[in-house]
Chain A
Amino acid sequence: MLDNLWNNVIEWFEDRSERAKLVRSFNESARKSFVSGIAPTLLKASISKGESSYKHQFSNWLNSGFRIQAFTGRVLTKEELMRIGKVILDDSILVRRLIVLGWDTLEIHGDSGQYGCRWQLKDYIPLPKFNKNE
């Protein structure tokens, strides 16, 4: 009986580590691309509060938002924000990984300006129906 509880504790720590690893890998790739000139804008991923109405069966209690900030030094247009978002959402492996690691919201923001775009991740991948009590 205690095995179950112990597994949950272990799983929680593993998920935390995987989440941090994913954010770190993204930031590392973004930094390399910016330095080598492949990307004209530096992107930075971080964990945000997220939108509570976007919850799904894998969602975390807190901090369920995956935020990408584009450091352009100017206000990004809606099309530019949408473009980055679409590329992320088109990568089904990444979306699936984000979902199982507890994220439910994708947010794209510029470094200046007050607005950004937000997507509900579960809309972009068919999630199988698991145990209804979950």
Chain B
Amino acid sequence: MNDTIIKDTLKLANETMNKSIASPTSEQINWWLWIAIIEFILILFLVLKQIKKPRDKQKQKFKEESLEQEIDFNNIINSSFNSKQLYDELKVKCHPDLFPTDVEKNLIAEKLFQEITENQNNAKRLIELKELAKQKLNINF
């Protein structure tokens, strides 16, 4: 009776041992461990690379200068819809050919016209130039 029990116990223990050896989880654990090690090395490499990279002072300066300047968003939005009409009006009325006899006015008109062309997408500047044209060239808009 005891013999049978011992034999059965041994058989069961043997089967359990075989099962645990054949199970794939032990292999998987090893795989994951290796993947984790590789990942760690990769992260370490990237961090060290980032640390050793010299900071470009010129680039930094360029960036700081750019961030300091003020942007006039209202003028940008206004210019998107209203600068074309203003430009069309100014380029006709301030054309230097309209002052062929008056040399002084012709010179002023030439400078103004040049600036009008340069600032054709800047409504704020065009309004200023319009005022200037009224004063210096006596143009009625």
Contacts and interface: CB of A to CB of B under 8 A. Distances in A.
Interface of A: 1-2, 4-5, 7-8, 18, 22, 25-26, 28-30, 32-33, 38-41, 43, 57-58, 83-84, 86-88, 90-91, 93-94, 96-97, 99-100, 128, 130-131, 133-134
Nearest to B81: A39
In the A-B complex, the 7 residue pairs with the smallest Cβ-Cβ separation, listed nearest first, are: A29-B73, A90-B121, A33-B77, A100-B66, A130-B59, A100-B63, A131-B56
B54 interface: yes
22 contacts: A4-B50, A5-B51, A8-B50, A26-B73, A26-B76, A30-B77, A38-B74, A38-B81, A38-B82, A39-B80, A58-B63, A84-B80, A87-B76, A87-B79, A88-B80, A90-B122, A96-B66, A97-B67, A100-B66, A130-B59, A131-B58, A133-B53
Nearest to A94: B71
B82 to A, nearest CB: 7
B91 interface: no
A88 B84 contact: no
In terms of DSSP, what is the predominant structure of the interface of chain A? helix
Contacts of A40: 81
Interface of B: 47, 50-56, 58-59, 62-63, 66-67, 69-71, 73-74, 76-84, 121-122
B77 A38 contact: yes
Contacts of A26: 73, 76
B77 A29 contact: yes
Contacts of A39: 77-78, 80-81
A39 B83 CA distance: 11
In terms of DSSP, what is the predominant structure of the interface of chain B? helix
A83 B121 CA distance: 9
B53 A4 contact: yes
Most chain B CB within 10 A, of A22, A41, A83, is at A83
B45 to A, nearest CB: 14
